[in-house]
C-alpha cells in the first residue's frame, strides 16, 4: 500500500521535471537558430541585431515547436489505434531541419554546433519518450496494453533461454510470479520432450504392424500420436516399475550365524553377480526344464566363444532365452542339481528357527 502511494506521489514530480527539461532544451535550440538567423542572412547593415532577432524568432519557434506539435498529434492518433505515419514523419522532418540549422549555422565554432544541435536532439528525445510513456499508461489503464512481465535477468536468459521464453509467456498470460512461471515452464518443456519421444516410438510401432508402407503411412498419419502418447503416460504403472527396479537394488538379507552361511553356500552357491529379478522369475521350477537349462549352460561353458544366435538356432530356443540361461548360470544358480525352489525349501528345513 505504501509503495503504491509512493509511486503515484512521485509520478507528477517526474513528469514536471520532464517538462522543465524539455522547455530548457527547446529554448536553447531556439536561441541557437535565432543566433544563426541574426548572423547568416544578408541583412542590411543599418538593421539592428534585435530587429533581426525579432524577425527570425517566429520561424525558429515554429520549427522547434512544430516537431513537438506533430509528435503530439501522432501520439493522439496512436492512442486511437492508428499508425500515424504522416504525423511522425512530419515531426521527425521538422526536428531534423532545426538540428541541421544549428549544426551548419555554427559550423565555424564546434562547441556551439554541438551544444545547440545537441539541445534540439535532447529536447525531441525527451518529448518522444515522455509522450510514449504517457500513451502506454493510458492504454494500460483501458486494458489495451499487456501487463509487463517479470524481470528474469541476463544470467537466467543466458542459462535457460527456452525456459525463460516460456516462463515470460506464461507470466503474461496467467499473471504468474517469477519463480512460479519458471517452475511451470520447466515442467511443461520436460513433459513435451518426453511426449515427443514417446510419440516417435509409437509411430515406429504403428508402422511396424503394417507390411504395406502406404497403409503404414495412413495409420501413422491418421492417429493423433500426441494423444496416444498422453494416454500411454496416463496408463503407465509407475509404482509397478518402481517395485521392479527397486527389487534389483535391495541388498541380500543378513545371515544370522555361521551355520546359515554354510547352508547358503551348500544350497544356493553364487559364483557371479545375481541376475535381475525378471530373469530369476524365468528360471524353471520343474525338474525337467531345470535340467534342460543346466545342460544348455554346460554346453555354453564348454564353448564360451560360440555365437549366441547360432547356439539358439542349434538348440531350437530363442536368443533371449539363451541370454537368460547365461546370466543365471554365470551367477552359479545352475550348478546344483536341485531346482531353485527345492534349494530354498531345503534351506528352510535346515533352519526351522529362522524360517519361523
Same domain assignment for residues 267 and 332 = yes
Residue at 311 is within a domain: yes
Cell of 130: 515522455
- Split into its structural domains, the chain has a count of 3
Residue at 208 is within a domain: yes
Residue range(s) defining the domain that contains residue 136? 2-141
Residue 346 has pLDDT above 80, yes or no: no
CB 328 within 8 A of CB 297: yes
Same domain assignment for residues 98 and 30 = yes
Same domain assignment for residues 166 and 133 = no
Inter-CA distances, 185 with 152, 155, 334, Å: 13, 17, 52
Same domain assignment for residues 9 and 124 = yes
Same domain assignment for residues 119 and 210 = no
Sequence-ordered list of residues with C-beta below 8 angstroms from that of 178, at least 6 positions apart, any chain: 150, 151, 152, 167, 171
Same domain assignment for residues 76 and 137 = yes
User: Which of 107, 141, 175 corresponds to the end of one domain?
Assistant: 141
DSSP class of residue 81 equals: T
Residue 182 has pLDDT above 80, yes or no: yes
pLDDT recorded at residue 185: 93
User: Which of 236, 264, 290 corresponds to the end of one domain?
Assistant: 236
Look over the chain and give the mean of its residue pLDDT values, rounded to a whole number: 78
**For 32-91, how does the pLDDT look when each residue is reduced to its tens digit (9 = 90+)?**
888 888 887 887 877 787 787 888 888 888 887 788 888 888 888 888 878 888 888 998
Q: Helix, strand or coil for residue 223?
A: coil
Residue at 313 is within a domain: yes
H helix runs in the chain, sequence order:
2-39, 49-79, 85-105, 110-141, 153-159, 161-174, 178-208, 213-222, 225-235, 238-249, 258-267, 277-280, 287-302, 308-315, 319-330, 340-350, 352-355
pLDDT recorded at residue 248: 66
Cα dihedral sign for 322, 324, 328, 331?
positive
Same domain assignment for residues 71 and 198 = no
Same domain assignment for residues 7 and 130 = yes
Cell of 347: 534351506
Residue at 247 is within a domain: no
Residue at 101 is within a domain: yes
In this structure, the number of other CB atoms found within 10 A of the CB of residue 105 comes to 21
Same domain assignment for residues 7 and 117 = yes
pLDDT tier at 265, thresholds 50, 70, 90 = very low
Residue at 146 is within a domain: no
Between CA 134 and CA 124 the distance in angstroms is: 15
pLDDT recorded at residue 158: 94
pLDDT recorded at residue 278: 64
Cell of 332: 552359479
Please name the residue that has the C-alpha cell 504395406.
212
Residue at 245 is within a domain: no
Between CA 54 and CA 49 the distance in angstroms is: 9
User: Which of 236, 265, 292 corresponds to the end of one domain?
Assistant: 236
Residue at 147 is within a domain: no
Residue 16 has pLDDT above 90, yes or no: no
Between CA 92 and CA 71 the distance in angstroms is: 8
Average the pLDDT over each of 13-17, 30-34, 41-45, 253-257 and give the range with the smallest value.
253-257
pLDDT recorded at residue 251: 66
pLDDT tier at 261, thresholds 50, 70, 90 = very low
Residue 354 has pLDDT above 50, yes or no: no
Q: Please state the length of the chain.
A: 356
Sequence-ordered list of residues with C-beta below 8 angstroms from that of 56, at least 6 positions apart, any chain: 33, 34, 37, 38, 41
Same domain assignment for residues 34 and 92 = yes
Nearest to 338 by CA among 274, 286, 298: 286
Same domain assignment for residues 18 and 135 = yes
Same domain assignment for residues 62 and 97 = yes
Amino acid at each position: 500500500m505504501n509503495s503504491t502511494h509512493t509511486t503515484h506521489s512521485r509520478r507528477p514530480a517526474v513528469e514536471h521535471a520532464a517538462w522543465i527539461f524539455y522547455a530548457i532544451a527547446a529554448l536553447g535550440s531556439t536561441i541557437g537558430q535565432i543566433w544563426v538567423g541574426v548572423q547568416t542572412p544578408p541583412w542590411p547593415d543599418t538593421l539592428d541585431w534585435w530587429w533581426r532577432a525579432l524577425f527570425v524568432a517566429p520561424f525558429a519557434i515554429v520549427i522547434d515547436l512544430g516537431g513537438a506539435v506533430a509528435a503530439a498529434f501522432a501520439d493522439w492518433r496512436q492512442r486511437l489505434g492508428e499508425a500515424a505515419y504522416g504525423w511522425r514523419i512530419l515531426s521527425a522532418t521538422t526536428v531534423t531541419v532545426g538540428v541541421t540549422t544549428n549544426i551548419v549555422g555554427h559550423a565555424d565554432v564546434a562547441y556551439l554546433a554541438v551544444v545547440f544541435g545537441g539541445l534540439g536532439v535532447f529536447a525531441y528525445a525527451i518529448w518522444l519518450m515522455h509522450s510514449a510513456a504517457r500513451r502506454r499508461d493510458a492504454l494500460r489503464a483501458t486494458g489495451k496494453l499487456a501487463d509487463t512481465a517479470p524481470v528474469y535477468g541476463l544470467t537466467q536468459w543466458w542459462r535457460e533461454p527456452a525456459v525463460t521464453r516460456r516462463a515470460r509467456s506464461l507470466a503474461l498470460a496467467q499473471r504468474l510470479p517469477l519463480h512460479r512461471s519458471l517452475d511451470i515452464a520447466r515442467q511443461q518443456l520436460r513433459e513435451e520432450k518426453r511426449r515427443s519421444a514417446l510419440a516417435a516410438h509409437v509411430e515406429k510401432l504403428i508402422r511396424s504392424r503394417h507390411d504395406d508402407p502406404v497403409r503404414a503411412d495412413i495409420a501413422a498419419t491418421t492417429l493423433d500420436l500426441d494423444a496416444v502418447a498422453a494416454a500411454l503416460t496416463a496408463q503407465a504403472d509407475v509404482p509397478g516399475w518402481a517395485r521392479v527396479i527397486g527389487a534389483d537394488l535391495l541388498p541380500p538379507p543378513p545371515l544370522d550365524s555361521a551355520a546359515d552361511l554354510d547352508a547358503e553356500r551348500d544350497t544356493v552357491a553364487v559364483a557371479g553377480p545375481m541376475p535381475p529379478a525378471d530373469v530369476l522369475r524365468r528360471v524353471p521350477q520343474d525338474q525337467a526344464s531345470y535340467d534342460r537349462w543346466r545342460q544348455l549352460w554346460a554346453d555354453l561353458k564348454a564353448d564360451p566363444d560360440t555365437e549366441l544366435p547360432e547356439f539358439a538356432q542349434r538348440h531350437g530356443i530363442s536368443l533371449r532365452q539363451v541370454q537368460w540361461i547365461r546370466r543365471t548360470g554365470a551367477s552359479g544358480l545352475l550348478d546344483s542339481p536341485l531346482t531353485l525352489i527345492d534349494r530354498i525349501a531345503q534351506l528352510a528345513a535346515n533352519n526351522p528357527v529362522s524360517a519361523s
